[in-house]
A = this chain, B = another copy of it.
Amino acid sequence: MGDCETRQGAYQDSLMNLESLRKSLVRQEDTIIFSLIERSNYPINSLLYDRQSSASFFHCFLKESEAVHAKAGRYTSLEENAFFPDDLPPPLLPPPKQEPALHPSGACININEKILDLYMKTLLPLIAAKGDDGNYAATAANDLACLQALSRRIHFGKFVAEVKFRDAPQDYTPAIRAKDREALMKLLTFESVEEMIKKRVEKKAMVFGQDVQLQENESTGKYKVKPEVVSQLYGEWVMPLTKIVQVEYLLRRLD
């Protein structure tokens, strides 16, 4: 997990609260939907992902891009998790001024392998048309943007879990001590909130993915990414994976 140890720094309190996290999560929905719409500009372009002798072109693109980002200090932020966290070059720029606000044991949780697998096998065929137009670099750059946006959103579960724990440690401590994943999952699940989020991202996909015309006119019902795919993405993957991050974080919270 690379330089995770070195970036924990002092484990301090911060002004972080559920309302500020919620605001960021809502804003991140826009980023995720923009990135999906941009990726949908290109067909699958599967040559990019074919395994050559060892790794695919995309694997190299992602790894090399992360190295460039690492030098600019991306992974000194606790909000960012690399897909290939080993052997990243050190940052050349000073780290963000934010105070670390995560418990050291949970800060290093990284489920990007799962996110990458899901993106490739399940999400990509839902947002990109079949075919190959040869625009591999633009395609890879858009994949990178999608993956970073999804990874950031899902790993935000660490901050959400931290704040929830601080607000009511008595609610979580028994289940943590009992290592009871199921009980923790129950404590973290609010179905009505999840339904509302699914509806909101579906609406956002309609607003951001429409063909904007100068004249006010009837909706064509055509969107760049199917709104129901975005709702499904959130309902089946983004929110469940965020909760898995939360559960794993809480399980380490008393270490």
Contacts and interface: CB of A to CB of B under 8 A. Distances in A.
A212 B32 CA distance: 14
Q: Is the interface of A mostly helix, strand, loop or mixed?
A: helix
A27 B41 contact: yes
Interface size class of A (residues with CB under 8 A): 35 or more
Contact of A200 (B60, B71, B92, B212): B212
A169 interface: no
B93 A57 contact: yes
Query: How many copies of this chain?
Result: 2
A126 interface: no
B57 A72 contact: yes
A140 interface: yes
Interface stretch (A107-115, A128-136, A229-237): A128-136
Contacts of A74: 137-138
Given A207-B207, A212-B204, A214-B200, A134 B69 contact: no
Contacts of A37: 30, 34
30 contacts: A30-B37, A30-B212, A31-B38, A48-B72, A57-B72, A60-B71, A60-B92, A61-B71, A61-B72, A64-B71, A65-B65, A68-B68, A70-B137, A73-B136, A74-B137, A77-B135, A77-B137, A93-B136, A93-B137, A96-B134, A96-B135, A97-B132, A97-B134, A141-B148, A145-B145, A196-B214, A200-B212, A203-B214, A204-B212, A208-B212
